[in-house]
């Protein structure tokens, strides 16, 4: 019989007297070492794009949502759905050769999936992670990771494997998952925001976010810590996804749902006049 001993219990006063641990940020205010995030959303609505954008920005040293400079971190992507050709096309839209330092962003494309229930694939994945040693591992979608994830037993095995690697290397984990099919309740159709599969995946991560079709980031589980996740994103110019501040560009009042840039025609007119005056000064 193995002699197992639990850690000694702490007196409440000793526990409270310990110094507060500092956050070990990977993305300040957002993700620290060891965090787990599962991102869901409808197919083809931009969740893979958002994950690739986060990977590029973090590897370059850019905060994904504030766009402030941060310390660059090593990011590893295991894309289990898209081909190398597809990923290259998408990445070329947001980053150019030389903008990311060597050995800061690694991408492996496995469109046939990765059976993490097979020992040989486990060992190969473990070696790849150990060779690169990422700060963030982005992997998915989950249905391409093997097993029957609608079963509690298989989900528990996969979660335990990922937790073991996460503890071993200290990386934060971002996983993509599809949502369950639509359900009908009281003659209304809706699609659950949680991940497809066992309810374990609702309990497991620190953060569970659904990227809605309109760019809203909705939490489908209560967060385990207070973080600065934006409420809504929109398609941008420099980056595919940017924070939708919903503020008037002229006076910074909150915008209603049917207002895109200005809270009133007066603000829109003032903005156009200001632009015209600036152009006129440049011309003459």
Each residue's pLDDT, cut to its tens digit, for the chain (284 residues) gives 668 888 889 899 988 888 878 899 999 999 999 999 999 988 888 999 999 999 999 999 999 999 999 999 999 999 999 999 999 999 999 999 999 999 999 999 999 999 999 999 999 999 999 999 999 999 999 999 999 999 999 999 999 999 999 999 999 999 999 877 666 666 666 667 778 889 999 999 999 999 998 999 999 998 899 999 999 999 888 899 999 876 665 666 666 656 666 666 666 666 555 543 433 333 33
* Entry pTM: 0.82
- Give residue 58's pLDDT: 98
> Residue 207's closest CA among 179, 180, 183, 175?
175
Structural domains in the chain plus CATH codes? 24-245 (3.40.50.300), 246-284 (no CATH)
Contact 212, 232 (CB under 8 A): no
Whole-angstrom CA distances from 247 to 100, 217, 269, 270 are: 32, 17, 16, 16
- Give residue 255's pLDDT: 65
Whole-angstrom CA distances from 249 to 57, 66, 236 are: 25, 17, 15
- Give residue 256's pLDDT: 61
């Amino acid at each position: 019989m193995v002699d197992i001993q639990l850690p000694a219990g702490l007196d409440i006063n000793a526990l409270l007297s310990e110094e507060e641990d500092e956050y070990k940020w990977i993305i300040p205010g957002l993700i620290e070492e060891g965090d787990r995030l599962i991102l869901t959303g409808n197919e083809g609505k931009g969740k893979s794009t958002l994950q690739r954008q986060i990977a590029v920005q973090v590897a370059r040293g850019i905060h994904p949502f504030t766009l402030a400079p941060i310390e660059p971190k090593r990011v590893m992507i295991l894309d289990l759905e898209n081909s190398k050709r597809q990923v290259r096309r998408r990445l070329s839209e947001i980053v150019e050769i030389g903008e990311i330092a060597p050995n800061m962003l690694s991408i492996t494309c496995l469109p046939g999936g990765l059976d993490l229930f097979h020992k040989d694939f486990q060992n190969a994945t473990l070696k790849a992670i150990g060779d690169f040693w990422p700060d963030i591992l982005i992997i998915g979608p989950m249905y391409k990771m093997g097993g029957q994830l609608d079963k509690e037993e298989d989900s528990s095995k996969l979660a335990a494997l990922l937790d073991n690697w996460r503890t071993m290397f200290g990386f934060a984990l971002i996983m993509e998952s599809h949502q369950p099919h639509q359900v009908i309740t009281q003659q209304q159709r809706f699609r659950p925001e949680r991940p497809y599969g066992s309810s374990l995946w609702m309990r497991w991560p620190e953060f569970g976010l659904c990227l809605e079709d309109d760019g809203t980031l909705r939490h489908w589980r209560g967060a385990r810590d207070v973080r600065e996740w934006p409420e809504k994103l929109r398609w941008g110019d420099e980056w595919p996804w940017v924070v939708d501040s919903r503020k008037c560009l002229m006076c910074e009042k909150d915008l209603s749902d049917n207002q895109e840039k200005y809270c009133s025609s007066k603000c829109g007119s003032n903005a156009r006049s200001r632009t015209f005056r600036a152009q006129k000064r440049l011309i003459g």
